[in-house]
Chains A and B, each alone.
Chain A
Amino acid sequence: MKNPIEQLNKIFDSRIRLGIMSALVVNDSINFNELKELIAVTDGNLASHLKTLEESGYIKVQKGFIGRKTNTTYAVTKSGDKAFRQHLEALEKMIRSIG
């Protein structure tokens, strides 16, 4: 049997990236400020984690405008959704393995 720890996704090691994914999988899209408030992080910190997720192809970014203000929204991609589900399954296995 494979060790479940190996199935955990390294990208979701960070509490912030995991938080971003958790919020995005249950919403069509969320904008930057809403994410910031949900996860309670600073702008720079959130931006860098979003960048990592975007580069691994787990989320897609859409830049838009509300009036004159920029409104950047984020949504999960298919591969991001899949990766997140696998990560959850791995977590589940780890909990089961003690019983």
Chain B
Amino acid sequence: MQKITSEQSLKEIRDIKQIMERSSRFLSLSGLSGVAAGCIALAGAAIAYYEIGKNSFDETDYSSRSSVSDLFSMKLFVLGMIVFFGALVMAFIFTYIRSRKQGVQIWGAASKRLLLNISLPLIAGGIFILKLLQTGYIGLIAPSCLIFYGLALINASKYTLSEVRYLGYGQLILGLISLYFIGYGLFFWAAGFGLLHIIYGTIMWNKYEKE
């Protein structure tokens, strides 16, 4: 008798824990979202690398390598935006598919909270980076992207799969290291937004979604 009731209690506590978790965290984030975002980031970085190579060739006569023409920075800015929104859309598609499979509402209390908590550091970072771009601190852009994104992920990890925190640590550390290798920003950017995303996404897909 005693044994049965304590087993029931354990089961009850497990149910409570599960519902608490499901109601406060958005757990449908797909690993494939990470892989897709990573691939787009790598493609974007490759295009940027090619463009920068071409550009510095053209301008060697007029300006030092560190100063960048308005047109060129505009081009990079547009490329950055395309990569950002492309990655966002791809990430959304795979997560949407997964949430449909699990029968979870994609626009619920948990996903709203996740979005809010990831957006705040990202918007602050976006404004900061825009200002860097305007004032010509081009070398600080890649480290800033990584640092703000890392902080956003660490903050958001409380509201989604807790492993997101480790992706955040990775981005943050890469960003801080890249502060000491100004001029190699693009490589760090590609490593963070490209490789780390793909590695994270693959691990998560293997862990939770592989059938």
B108 contacts across to A, CB distance below 8 A: 34, 37
Contact of A98 with B109 in the complex, beta carbons under 8 Å: no
Contacts of A41 in B (CB 8 A): none
Most buried by A among B10, B19, B22, B104: B19
Does B162 sit at the interface, judged by CB under 8 A?
Answer: no
Total residues of chain A contacting the partner, CB 8 A: 22
Known pairs A34-B105, A37-B104, A98-B2; A22 contacts B15 (CB<8 A): yes
> Is the CB of A33 closer than 8 A to any CB of chain B?
yes
A25 touches B20 (CB 8 A): yes
Fill in one digit per residue for B1-42: 1 if any A CB lies within 8 Å of its CB, else 0. 011011001101101110110111000000000000000000
Contact status B23-A26, CB under 8 Å? yes
Q: Is B53 an interface position by the 8 A CB rule?
A: no
Q: From DSSP, what is the main secondary structure of chain A's interface residues?
A: helix
A30 contacts which chain B residues (CB < 8 A)?
A: 23, 109
Cross-chain contact A39 with B19 (CB below 8 angstroms): yes
Inter-chain CA distance A29–B12, complex, in Å, is 22
Q: What are 29 residue pairs bridging A and B, where the CB atoms are less than 8 Å apart in the complex?
A: A5-B5, A15-B15, A18-B12, A19-B19, A22-B17, A22-B23, A23-B19, A23-B20, A23-B22, A23-B23, A27-B23, A30-B23, A30-B109, A33-B105, A34-B109, A37-B104, A37-B108, A38-B19, A38-B23, A39-B19, A88-B13, A88-B16, A91-B9, A91-B13, A92-B9, A94-B5, A95-B9, A97-B2, A98-B6
Residues of B within 8 A of A (CB): 2-3, 5-6, 9-10, 12-13, 15-17, 19-20, 22-24, 103-105, 108-109
